[in-house]
Amino acid sequence: MATERTLSILKPDCVERGLIGKVLAVFEEKGLKPVAMRLTHLSQAEAEGFYAVHRERPFFKDLVKFMTSGPVVVQVLEGDNAVAKNREIMGATNPANAAPGTIRKLFAQSIERNTVHGSDSVDNAKVEVAYFFRSTEQHGYEWKR
C-alpha cells in the first residue's frame, strides 16, 4: 500500500468544545500520523479559497461563516492509503449517516458542525496540503510504539 499524505481540519465545533485531543487520539490510534499541524483562525478569503469547489452550492455562505467562526486545527496526516483511510475514520459527511466508531458519529452535531474535514481524493489532497503547508513545514518520523 502506498504511503500518502492528506489534509485534515479540526473544525471550529471541535476546537470550541475541547475535543482536539480526543479527535487526534482517534487518528493516532488508527494509524494516521500528524506530520504537520497548526492552530489558526481562517480569514474569509482563506475559507472561500479552500472551499472554492463548493462556491455554487446553496450551503457555501454558511459553510464559510462557520469555518471562520473560531479557530481550527489544520494538519497533514500521513499513513498507508491515508486519503481513503482518513475518510473511513471520519465517517459520512452527515453524522446521521456516519458508521459507529467514526469521528463524526462520536462527536459531530450536524452536517455543518461535523467536526473534521478530510481531502476526498489523492489529487485533491496534494492541492489541499499545499494550500496550508510548505514542504519544509511537514516533518515525517517513525513511530516507536
Cβ atoms within 10 Å of 114's Cβ, excluding its own: 23
117 belongs to the catalytic site: yes
Binding site for ligand CMP (CB under 6 A): 54, 59, 63, 93, 111-112, 114, 117
CB of 18 to ligand CMP, least distance (A): 20
Catalytic residue (one of 41, 54, 117, 139): 117
CB environment 26-59: b (16+ within 10 A), e (fewer): bbeeeebbbbbbeeeebeeebbbebbeeeeeeee
What's the first-to-final CA gap in the chain, in angstroms? 21
User: Toward ligand CMP, which CB reaches closer, 53 or 139?
Assistant: 53
User: Toward ligand CMP, which CB reaches closer, 53 or 140?
Assistant: 53
Residues marked active site are found at 117
